[in-house]
Amino acid sequence: METAFGVVGITSMAIHSINSLIQDINAVKDAPNVIADLKDELIAMEAVLVALDNARKNSQLENLTADVQVALQLANTNCQKSCEKFRLKLRQWTKHSEDGLHWRDRFRVGLFAERSVKALSAQLNCSKSTMNAAVSTAALISSSALSSDTKGRDLRTKEIEISKQIVEIDEQNALVQLAPQNFAEAPLSENEDRSEVMEQLRDQRVTLDESRKLLEDLLAQAHQVRTGEKITKVEISDGGKLIVGRINYEDEGDSCLDIHDIKATNHGKGVVGMIKGLDVNAFLND
């Protein structure tokens, strides 16, 4: 796919931004631990990007859907921009330092670095886990060495892992959204720039939202490859109840289900797909 080849340039730029930031950190003599420890996060992120690029070179990314590939491009771009933003902050914090960290800059780093490093680390960790999921799923889908049963079991395990990642992202997003309310209870220090902190929170939400979208698309593809079912945009709310997909069919045969845009709201109920052995009356009257 054309999109897969587009990942290469973006991945290279993200790796370059990471390496540039590492060099800037190394250039800060006597850097506080909060800054120095960030290097480990950056090195780990670089390793994931290299693995992603290797998957592209091995043509494994071509087996992912166009939606997943586009989401990977966005994740790469987001990583690059986050590192570049932090580089600018680091240079601003250390503008008085040459041979060792000047006391004025050490004071500034102590005031501002911890929250910024924490925000960048959260973004990097989210991107790492999401890209790792994409690389491992692409390798699994591309594998011709596995038997059909083994591949099916491995894909099912992968679906469970991705589902857990989505739950974790939702929990993190809820905390990020609550952060502005927490400022009212525990106000920022007088030296902290509220607008800058809010920008960091917005950047975190962007990373979380983009990662969730990527994982949703990845989960849908893994499920489709395993079962022949493509199920997307299913919404259940306000007491609704749905049974969707292929139920009690041990042998899927050549059948393929494409189910999307299904809603069950206001205590509505529905059955969509290929279902065996279901007492419909009991389900509807439950």
228 touches 255 (CB < 8 A)? yes
- pLDDT of residue 37 exceeding 70, the answer is yes
User: Hey, what amino acid is at 45?
Assistant: M
Phi/psi at 229 (5° precision): -105, 135
Asked if 273 contacts 247 with a C-beta cutoff of 8 angstroms, the reply is yes
pTM of the model: 0.75
| Contacts within 8 Å (CB) and 24+ apart, 209-214 | 209/173, 210/71, 210/74, 210/75, 210/78, 211/75, 211/126, 211/127, 211/129, 211/130, 211/169, 212/166, 212/169, 212/170, 212/173, 213/71, 214/68, 214/71, 214/72, 214/74, 214/75, 214/130, 214/134
pLDDT, one tens digit per residue, over 136-194 is 999 999 887 678 888 889 999 999 999 999 999 999 999 998 877 655 444 544 545 66
What is residue 197's predicted lDDT score, i.e. its pLDDT?
A: 76
pLDDT digits (tens, 9 = 90+) for 108-135: 555 557 788 889 999 999 999 999 999 9
Residue 250 to residue 273: CA distance in whole angstroms: 14
Mean pLDDT (whole number) for 12-25: 93
* Burial grade of 191 (CB within 10 A; 0-12, 13-18, 19 or more): exposed
Rounded Cα gap, residues 74 and 217, in angstroms: 14
Amino acid at site 131? M
